[in-house]
Structure 1
Amino acid sequence: MLQFNNRFKKGQWYLIILLFNCGFAKADLPEVFQGDTPDSEYVISYDDLDALLRATVLYTGQSNRKKAGKSVARTGTRLKANVDRLTANEGNRFHYEEFKNNAELKQILHKIRKSLEAVPAEVKLSAFSKSEQLAFWLNLYNVTVLDELISIYPEKSLESLVNGDSGLFERKILNVAGIPLSLNDIQFTILLEKYKDPLVLYGLYQGYIGSPGLRKHAYTGKNVYRTVTNNASEFINSNRGTYGEVNAENFRVSSFYERSRPYFPDFNEDLKSHLLEYLSGNQRQALETAKVIEADISNWQITDVYGTSRNYGAGLADNTAALIGAFSNGGTRGAEFDGVANLDGAAGPLQDLSTSYGRFGPAQLQRMKELDAIRLNERGSVSVTDLKAEEDNK
């Protein structure tokens, strides 16, 4: 069982608890969320969330800018899946499939969400440093997104949930320190007013391929700025973030930037300046020479591994595909680049997972092979073991 540890660790200033507001009052920012203690010794523990993410996030590595292969029809039918080839193989994935029919896993994630939601009722956020508070808001945001999406999975397209007036991001689904909050309240009021830095956007996983990636570890006060910077570089240097051609009039960017327009007051100039801080290769030259930035790159598909890939036809049986649970940990690139965690090695109910991935159609197999190739190029080596057939697990 995953342990839900006490989230507060006290430093040497055990008896000196400074709960004062040292920030400037903001008209739109509730007073309870204002202020910080720069030299605070208080940190929030995310050991439970960290263990969960390491076991359930599939790290795909940096984009190679290649388009996915063309979708193919299965034997016995002319129908085939519609695939956004530009972005289909990009972004880290989450094992939504494993949560679908596993009440215990769902409960674990929900408990993590509720315990994070309760933190500011236990200790005022102003007792923490700004970096510690940023880690808290990003973790709470991402856990809430996961918890909500699991409840509707296998919904494939998240466009209406993101853009709708009564969609997931607009609803007041959180209560923090007695204040009802939506996910958009966190993004456009709390984080915008408190940090005024576009980098925080890259810590906001929104569940679909076209949004910033979900990390394999929780944010902490110590790693948060390094990690969102890595996220920014990964997203900006991917097809789902930017795409252009040298000497072309238009330079395409993710529609995520359009929805995050308040972070870029002079949208074209501010966004261009921001992107040039991280963009590399010929894409950088393409942006420098472009006259128009067009925010039209969108892939609304949920970032699952295979569960919403539709199978058409059944003329012939296909080979069983062994996918996740078989990739080794280790590596030298640091925690934020850690390898894919073995599902069978996770604590608690994750340790007992015995999943049969069944039979896949050509389109599903193709996507998984392409993701495997990306990971192989990124990691250098991988060990694979066959998953037991479904009959063996009964």
Structure 2
Amino acid sequence: MHVQLRACMVRASGIAAAIALVTGPAGARDSAVQSGLLAPSTQAPNSEPSSQDTLANSTEPLAMFAPGRNPIDHTIDYSIWSEALSYLVVSMGPSLRKKPQEFDNALGTRRRFGHNSRYRLEGSLVGFTFMNDEVKASFTEYRRDLESVADTLDIQSLPRNEQLAYWMNLHNVAMVEQIARAWPIRQPREILLDGVPLDEAKFITVRGIALSPRDIRTRIVYPNWRNPKVIYGFWRGEIGGPALQRKAFQAAEISNLLDRSAREFVNSLRGVQKYGGTMQVSTVFAEAAPFYFGDFERDLRSHIGDYANQDVAEILDRTDRVDASVYEHDIADLSGGARANAWFSNGQLGRGVSALLAQRQQKFEYMEREGLRTGTVTFSNINLPGDSRDKGEVE
């Protein structure tokens, strides 16, 4: 499968070249080893897995996936997933916190082309229109390969950051896979698997247990990680949620990547807005509230303050109420989920995607003129003598 997915991504590189001027540069053990997914460390394990000793009194069926106390030194390599993301995800850059200009209609018609969401120039968008059947099938095989890793390796016995990267990458691969299979579609929540909405559908199987994307978030990760920045590692396929990064989560840099994603989301219109004396926030925070924001307003304000830029800091200061009401369910797709907006015609990108990428370029040119930062720099953790083994661990 590794070879198949890589071959599909190589073909996709032709698409990447077509939009390169505006998108910028690409930023089961047997099964896993053969595909390059699992790369055991050369260090000896500390001890046998011991997660069950902390879970004996738990009634949660998914408690078996809670992190153990004595992790073993194994890593999972997601480089092939990073390669796929670098071809298919387009970063739209930091939010300018204002509504983009409307697209011009086609001459002589009221028909509108392109993504019309007010959030279309924030976060990231995915080129679903460029995925053929072979690429879509490769995502399914890759998701199954990730599932099979857990058949012979206890995920809960890995270091915490390794576990977190596993769950986030599995969740996001599964979402990309299913949305790609259903495309063209305007909103991922319209996707039904055997009559069940995508986010609730138990189409992911780990250690023989059927899981939904929501299960991974709210029954495995949120209950077992104390830091709310894990919220930003889960991509929901919707333009209103946290952005899909252009690289896979790897344990060594997952904390920094989550910080970057958190900062982008909190300072975007998708994350925080002001309406009178009310700070309106994303409904993503409401889903996570039982785990991270027990006193919703106080705890959320503190969390947002950790990542807020000047504009959002002023919203914190000038509001006295919090309302979790911001969200948009439209697909996070370059074409807005419409085939007519996207396909190549006579060697050219469709009108919708072309218009969107032109707006993106104009935004970046404006930011450069104004001396605004258009990107971010991520520093990976460097292990030095004497550093603890849990350095950079997301608690």
DSSP-derived class of the 1:18 partner: coil
In the TM superposition, what is the alpha-carbon distance from 1:367 to its structure 2 partner?
Answer: 2.4
In the TM superposition, what is the alpha-carbon distance from 1:309 to its structure 2 partner?
Answer: 5.1
Within the alignment, does 1:369 sit opposite 2:358 as a pair? yes
DSSP-derived class of the 2:179 partner: helix
In the TM superposition, what is the alpha-carbon distance from 1:308 to its structure 2 partner?
Answer: 3.0
Which residue type is aligned with residue 203 of structure 1?
A: G
For structure 2, the 5+ residue unaligned runs are 7-33, 376-395
1:153 aligns with one of 166, 183, 206: 183
DSSP-derived class of the 1:30 partner: helix
In the superposition, the TM-score normalised over structure 1's length comes to 0.76
Whether the 8 Å CA contact 2:116–2:336 is kept in 1: the answer is no
DSSP-derived class of the 1:54 partner: helix
Residues 85, 63 of structure 1: CA spacing in aligned structure 2 closer, same or farther, 3 A cutoff? same
CA separation in 2, counterparts of 1:200 and 1:359? Answer: 36
Residues 20, 366 of structure 1: CA spacing in aligned structure 2 closer, same or farther, 3 A cutoff? same
Which residue type is aligned with residue 331 of structure 2?
A: I
Whether the 8 Å CA contact 1:142–1:204 is kept in 2: the answer is yes
1:7 aligns with one of 38, 45, 56: 38
DSSP-derived class of the 1:48 partner: helix
CA separation in 2, counterparts of 1:75 and 1:373? Answer: 22
Q: Which piece of structure 1 moves more, 210-219 or 73-82?
A: 73-82
CA separation in 1, counterparts of 2:79 and 2:114? Answer: 39
Whether the 8 Å CA contact 2:41–2:73 is kept in 1: the answer is yes
CA separation in 2, counterparts of 1:179 and 1:359? Answer: 42
Name the structure 2 match of 1:249.
277
Whether the 8 Å CA contact 2:129–2:339 is kept in 1: the answer is no
CA separation in 1, counterparts of 2:337 and 2:211? Answer: 30
In the superposition, the TM-score normalised over structure 2's length comes to 0.76
Q: Which piece of structure 1 moves more, 129-138 or 298-307?
A: 298-307
For structure 1, the 5+ residue unaligned runs are 313-319, 323-353, 381-394
Runs of at least 4 residues off by over 6 Å: none
DSSP-derived class of the 1:260 partner: helix
Q: Which piece of structure 1 moves more, 168-177 or 55-64?
A: 55-64
Q: Which piece of structure 1 moves more, 200-209 or 369-378?
A: 369-378
Whether the 8 Å CA contact 1:257–1:295 is kept in 2: the answer is yes
CA separation in 2, counterparts of 1:171 and 1:270? Answer: 31
Which residue type is aligned with residue 253 of structure 1?
A: V
Whether the 8 Å CA contact 2:182–2:191 is kept in 1: the answer is no
Which residue type is aligned with residue 304 of structure 1?
A: D
2:76 aligns with one of 44, 54, 58: 44
Whether the 8 Å CA contact 1:268–1:293 is kept in 2: the answer is yes
Residues 141, 6 of structure 1: CA spacing in aligned structure 2 closer, same or farther, 3 A cutoff? closer
Q: Which has the higher contact order (CA 8 A, sep 6+)?
A: 1
Residues 29, 250 of structure 1: CA spacing in aligned structure 2 closer, same or farther, 3 A cutoff? same
Within the alignment, does 1:75 sit opposite 2:107 as a pair? yes
Whether the 8 Å CA contact 2:91–2:246 is kept in 1: the answer is yes
CA separation in 2, counterparts of 1:24 and 1:17? Answer: 16
In the TM superposition, what is the alpha-carbon distance from 1:288 to its structure 2 partner?
Answer: 2.4
In the TM superposition, what is the alpha-carbon distance from 1:295 to its structure 2 partner?
Answer: 2.1
Name the structure 2 match of 1:261.
289
Describe how 1:1-394 pairs up with structure 2 within 5 A. 1=3, 2=6, 4-13=35-44, 18-21=48-51, 24-25=54-55, 26-28=58-60, 30-36=62-68, 40-80=72-112, 86-99=118-131, 102-160=132-190, 166-244=196-274, 248-263=276-291, 264-306=293-335, 308=337, 356-360=347-351, 365-375=354-364, 377=368
Residues 291, 81 of structure 1: CA spacing in aligned structure 2 closer, same or farther, 3 A cutoff? farther
Percent identity among equivalent residues? Answer: 25
CA separation in 2, counterparts of 1:128 and 1:268? Answer: 35
Larger fraction in helix:
2
CA separation in 1, counterparts of 2:270 and 2:179? Answer: 21
In the TM superposition, what is the alpha-carbon distance from 1:70 to its structure 2 partner?
Answer: 2.1
